[in-house]
Amino acid sequence: MAAVANPQLYFEDVEEGSAVPSLEKTPSNTLLFLYSAVTWNPQRIHFDRDFTLQEGYREVVVHGPLRGAFLSQLMTNWIGEGGTLKKMSYANRDIAYVNELLACKGTVTRKWIENGLGHVECDIWVENGHGNVLTPGTATVTLPLRNPAA
């Protein structure tokens, strides 16, 4: 079955203060192991539970850059194929653990038109099931205009 593309988001559809549709992730041991392998990350806290417990953590730790990838997916899912993720930054402020539900969320903070493009800034973040923000960030996207000639 072919994947269904998200409908295109247009600049006119966005309002300051509106929410970006959330994206939920529950990183598994397999995902963390594979992410460690593909990024050549040998840090055992990301895949070796016994070692991780010995190091004082309560469970295997989710990679910080993987949470950044989740935020990137949040934004690109939202803007559709006609949008462009121009800039994104984030900071890992707290630990996320394997098999923990993570919610990626965002809020539109500003929008403007410049050089015929619709620009949108957002506050974005990853929070755990307790509502604690683990990874705050910001993103700027461009969106197509419904009637660019107007």
Q: Which residues of the chain have pLDDT under 50?
A: none
pLDDT tens digit string along 22-42? Answer: 999 999 999 989 988 999 988
Helix or strand run (H / E) with residue 110: strand 102-114
Q: What does the pLDDT read at residue 69?
A: 96
The DSSP bridge partners found for residue 92 are none
Q: What does the pLDDT read at residue 70?
A: 97
Q: What does the pLDDT read at residue 2?
A: 52
Q: Is residue 37 part of a domain?
A: no
Q: Is residue 110 part of a domain?
A: yes
Q: Which domain holds residue 105?
A: 11-26+66-143
pTM above 0.85, yes or no: yes
How many domains, the chain?
A: 1
Q: What does the pLDDT read at residue 5?
A: 60
Q: Is residue 90 part of a domain?
A: yes
- Rounded to 5 degrees, what are φ and ψ at 135? -140, 90
Q: Is residue 135 part of a domain?
A: yes
